[in-house]
Structure 1
Amino acid sequence: MCGIVGVVSNNPVNQLIYDALLLLQHRGQDAAGIATSYGNKFAMYKANGLVKDVFRTRNMRSLPGNMGIGQVRYPTAGSFSEEEAQPFYVNAPFGIVLAHNGNLTNAPELKSELFKRDRRHLNTDSDSEVLLNVLAHQIQQETSGYSLDPEALFRAVAVVHQRVRGSYAVVAQIAGYGLLAFRDPFGIRPLCIGYNDNEKGREYILASESVALEGLGFRFMRDVQPGEAIFIDIDGNLTAKQCAVNPVLNPCAFEYVYLARPDSVIDGVSVYLSRLKMGEYLAEKMKSQFGAGDIDVVMPIPDSSRPAAMELAMNLNLDYREGFIKNRYIGRTFIMPGQASRKKSVRQKLNAIGSEFKGKSVLLVDDSIVRGTTSREIVQMARESGAKRVIFASAAPPVKFPNVYGIDMPTRGELIAYGRTEEEVCREITADALVYQDVDAMRKSIFDLNPSLKGVEASCFDGYYVTGDVTEAYLDKLEASRKAPRADTEDTIRSPLNLNRANLD
């Protein structure tokens, strides 16, 4: 998961892109980068760190031009190296800089093809550099190194769709020509487009979330469709074309559960309203398991679980309280590199208000349970604050499978629900009771808000990988490359069956 933005304007874009990246900071806190173009030249600056720390006045002054792209990085494939901060650049053909949100599942095969067949050199381990070189090679094939037009670009993107597997939302600048954006044929990672009319004409922005458009005063136009490519030339002329065969929209369910800002709308679904729906459906399940007097108060684990917790409390006619206060200067715990760091940061990140817990039966609501480390620490904090009973509820279903499409939870051994029953997970996090959302209810929470949406990418919950190329052998190889030990215990793990229904159909 990363955040990307691209702008074609009639004014300098460096400040606009910087502001957009601030609005997308929640999507990546590891590195940030901006590349702008003026004439046939690019200017670029990128480094590890938050947006506000990476860019100084001198850096902004070195980014002239009326067109540009930017990215905030959350590392998935590859390392934490500053060399792998985006955007990436190649000088042929034409000169291209690219920023990518997603993860390529066939990156190793593509690397081999690029070296042996396409004669292209890669300088990092990043799959984004792989994607850039595949795109550059196909553009060169379609243009024979000479003139370029939108149709040639669209033919190149069509071949990219055929060669590349996985998830990808892309913004790319082509020196002297314009801005190209496209989305994978399943629309797994989000991308939308907006516009603004001023005295000089129309300017366009593409971004991972609608909040980046609205926060900058742009009007939301629409989401980029799965498989679609959009080209905006340097004069602001927009051309779009569907470049994939049989595209099917399957946005990532985890965007709605946790990743996206609640004030964003992704593929016609309000993130905030979907989280309210998750609370509503979770309340229906809890009514069948708990009676009057079993729960005294409902509390969210800040921040993304708050809408679900509020709706759940209302539907159960229970008091809603804020029992934990969040320190907003601590990073997301589930993406921290070391288990010790995660354990330590929970206490730094959250502090309990003892008076809200003392002598009460407390229902704690979180958006999801991934490794379980944070959940266990939070349950212990509630007990230490005087709770007589701690019930834990997850607004999402059990995370049982690796996510290979751009979220850093790729090994089965790191997932507390993998190979465990709900009762076993409950014991692991030391709660008195545990309630998970049902997978079908999570889907309905999204589909209810956009009935035309027929599918979501929910592989980390149901083991179904929509790209059809993720097998047990693939996951074994991925885990061996990471050499990640079991995060919580060394218990024997029972492998769930039917990991990849796509390969069984």
Structure 2
Amino acid sequence: MSDQIKHECGLAVVRLLKPLEFYKEKYGTSLYGLDKMQLLMQKQRNRGQDGAGLATIKLDMGPGHRYISRKRTNTSTYLKDLFEGVFSHFEDLSPEQMNNPEWLKRNKPYTGELLLGHLRYGTHGDNSIETCHPFLRQNNYISRNLVVAGNFNLTNVEELFDELVTLGQYPKEKSDTVTVMEKIGHFLDDEVQRLHSWFKPEGYNNQEINTLIYEHLDIQRFLQRAFRKFDGGYTMAGLIGHGDAFVVRDPAGIRPAYYYHDDEIAVVASERPAIQTAIDVQYDQVKELKRGHALIIRKNGTISEELIKDQVEKKACSFERIYFSRGTDRDIYLERKKLGELLCEKVLKEINYDFKDTIFSFIPNTAESAFFGMMHGMEDALNSLKIKQIKELGPTPNVQKLEEILSVRPRFEKLAIKDAKLRTFIADDNSRGLMVPHIYDVTYGIVQNDIDTIVLIDDSIVRGTTLKNSILRILARLRPKKIIIVSSAPQIRYPDCYGIDMSKMKNFVAFRALVALLKEHGKEHLLEETYQRCVAMADLPDDQLKNEVQQLYDEFPYEMVSEKISEILTPPDIKPDVKIIYQTIESLHEACPGNSGDWYFSGNFPTPGGIRVVNKAFVNYMENVDARAYA
């Protein structure tokens, strides 16, 4: 994605299922859990660049001993600083101390059996340390202590906040993180109190009741109550002070979650390859957490998947496959290749099957897998063309002509390279603007001037700002006859509200193209009519909601919108013709059959909150309100 956008966070949970001495004896380290957590977070660093945090819980610590530790950081070197801070507690220890897990557990922080890590990608607001996960809800009663972190965005924070107020709470701020923490915490408190009230008349003292709560706490029940009204995309993890843990996934499966466990360890992460690398297990040993379920890890070591919210149609985010997740996942890698391959026919028609004078390349690095797929598709297409040409030579072909046919190969080159981040210390806008095109560098001397066509595949085009102000300008310096930009994702037409920072309609080049077409074709009045319907939709119940913006796009064929986008993004002062080709939604589904969440492209939102958001985003556009359409 040449346009930088912020997106989803990363999550990691580690539960050591054996005594700490076991890991020291088998693996030679007393810090086995920390080592695994560091590797899990390092392998998911693509999911957060604004901060990181880690929390640990020690099991069976006596009163008066610290059993919860937490560290968070929002520095530019967040992972380095996080783990340097954690491991600093073990500097200058004697070999005897480092080789004694029980001594470390009694005397040093971060030596617990239960670990929760988080990588933050802030989609809005500040990046202060207070916004970094995990969050703590502290209490002197051990089973009421709660640590929470997640990869989530809720569309109905206002509703959930108001419900907390009606429950008698007084939240310190109106944010999704605080609301989630207090919502889960309230029902945890309620469940703990229910058990206390149940056992007290039986004659147990308060200390005995604590132990009974550990054994009888109904995690599934209180999570069902806590998550009942959540609308959005989420994977949320929680640790309870006495040692239970849970990870909950939304009922549409929008946000990802994977897990593995054996008799030694249980691990949860946002990405499958992170678990495969950290634990050294095979692809088919890592399971995907079922949508609407919670993975519950009890203090006694039992592990189960339990239904928390009734499942709805699976709408796992397709952007995970196109861009966000690391391409080291087997399925994602193959799907990205397929996305590139499925674009070949459109590209071939645009270049009139001219392999001789066409150069194929990609930008940025996340589009490399799609480029490989396009390479294979082009090689297959060329082979088919060669077979046809050879057949036309007859049974006794001329050797020279045969050699000419066989010598033609697709020209695959690395043309555009993202340079080191440029900084300008000049304050005026004109000077800074002159620096913008040089974010990318190019390989000179490969393109035949005014003869070659450049085909450059990108994984997606959101705003098109970098494409227009940098990539197209720098490619034009190579003096190609034509530049074709190919997007492995369809046109991004609608805002997201489930964890990705794409919330304002005016920022989408596809929407700007739509507005331009409406004006050109004398249909500008439809904007006002749609605005009125969106306003009227605001107070309707969920079952009457409708995405009113979809009708506007229905006014024009898909390719017409692409043509207008090409026109909008072509810099006025470059010589080559520019054409932008987009993936179709149908091909997206063919390439990524398991992740059908396509609301960015189709407008088919999986939850009522998403429909409210898209209508509100359109109202904000019409009212010139520069704000997100959700809290």
Tell me which interval the TM-score lies in, with the shorter structure as reference length: 0.7 to 0.9
Is the 8 Å Cα contact of residues 171 and 179 (structure 2) preserved in structure 1?
no
Residue 320 of structure 2: aligned partner: 255
Cα 1:232–1:392 shift into 2, 3 Å: same
CA RMSD of aligned residues (A): 2.9
Match of 1:187 among 249, 253, 278: 253
Q: CA deviation at 1:80?
A: 2.1
| Equivalent residue letter for 1:122 | K
Q: CA deviation at 1:308?
A: 1.3
C-alpha distance after superposition, 1:215-259 (max 9, x if no partner)? 212434300000111111234321221222234321101001100
Is the 8 Å Cα contact of residues 161 and 227 (structure 1) preserved in structure 2?
no
C-alpha distance after superposition, 1:103-126 (max 9, x if no partner)? 101012212222332415235x54
Cα 1:109–1:74 shift into 2, 3 Å: same
CA distance in 2, matches of 1:341, 1:411: 25
Residue 308 of structure 1: aligned partner: 370
C-alpha distance after superposition, 1:446-497 (max 9, x if no partner)? 11xxxxx4x62111111111012222443357779995499xxxxxxxxxxx
Q: CA deviation at 1:36?
A: 0.6
Residue 70 of structure 1: aligned partner: 117
Residue 406 of structure 2: aligned partner: none
SS at match of 2:495: coil
CA distance in 2, matches of 1:3, 1:240: 21
| Equivalent residue letter for 1:42 | I
Is the 8 Å Cα contact of residues 361 and 414 (structure 2) preserved in structure 1?
yes
Q: CA deviation at 1:309?
A: 1.6
CA distance in 2, matches of 1:346, 1:137: 52
Residue 352 of structure 2: aligned partner: 291
Q: CA deviation at 1:372?
A: 0.3
CA distance in 2, matches of 1:208, 1:148: 28
Cα 1:221–1:429 shift into 2, 3 Å: same
Is the 8 Å Cα contact of residues 272 and 286 (structure 2) preserved in structure 1?
no
Is the 8 Å Cα contact of residues 52 and 79 (structure 2) preserved in structure 1?
no
Residue 87 of structure 1: aligned partner: 134
1:114 aligns with 2:179: no
1:384 aligns with 2:477: yes
1:474 aligns with 2:616: yes
Cα 1:135–1:54 shift into 2, 3 Å: same
Cα 1:300–1:432 shift into 2, 3 Å: same
CA distance in 1, matches of 2:562, 2:471: 18
1:355 aligns with 2:416: no
CA distance in 2, matches of 1:284, 1:179: 50
Match of 1:227 among 292, 299, 304: 292
Match of 2:511 among 411, 418, 426: 418
Q: CA deviation at 1:31?
A: 0.6
**Is the deviation greater in 287-296 or in 437-446?**
287-296
Is the 8 Å Cα contact of residues 100 and 170 (structure 1) preserved in structure 2?
yes
1:104-503 to 2 correspondences below 5 Å: 104-123=154-173, 126-144=175-193, 146=196, 147-148=213-214, 152-195=218-261, 201-219=263-281, 220-264=285-329, 270-293=331-354, 296-317=358-379, 318-327=410-419, 347-348=438-439, 350-359=440-449, 360-376=452-468, 377-420=470-513, 421-430=561-570, 432-447=578-593, 453=594, 456-469=596-609, 470-471=611-612, 472-475=614-617, 484=626
Is the 8 Å Cα contact of residues 413 and 485 (structure 1) preserved in structure 2?
no
**Is the deviation greater in 469-478 or in 220-229?**
469-478
Is the 8 Å Cα contact of residues 255 and 316 (structure 2) preserved in structure 1?
yes
Count of matched residue pairs: 463
| Equivalent residue letter for 1:256 | R
SS at match of 2:491: coil
SS at match of 2:509: coil
SS at match of 2:596: coil
More strand by share: 1
| Equivalent residue letter for 1:433 | K
Residue 2 of structure 1: aligned partner: 9
Match of 2:151 among 97, 101, 108: 101
1:46 aligns with 2:69: no
Is the 8 Å Cα contact of residues 32 and 54 (structure 1) preserved in structure 2?
no
Match of 1:24 among 41, 44, 53: 44
Q: Give TM-score scaled by structure 2 length.
A: 0.68
Q: CA deviation at 1:155?
A: 1.3
More helix by share: 2
Q: Give TM-score scaled by structure 1 length.
A: 0.84
SS at match of 2:510: coil
CA distance in 2, matches of 1:329, 1:8: 39
C-alpha distance after superposition, 1:25-70 (max 9, x if no partner)? 1011011000011136210000113433432534333422121101
The structure number with the bigger radius of gyration is 2
Cα 1:151–1:227 shift into 2, 3 Å: farther
C-alpha distance after superposition, 1:155-195 (max 9, x if no partner)? 12222332110011011111112221110101100000013
Cα 1:71–1:313 shift into 2, 3 Å: same
CA distance in 2, matches of 1:274, 1:238: 32
CA distance in 2, matches of 1:414, 1:341: 21
Q: CA deviation at 1:82?
A: 2.0
Percent of residue pairs identical: 23
CA distance in 1, matches of 2:432, 2:169: 42
| Equivalent residue letter for 1:273 | L
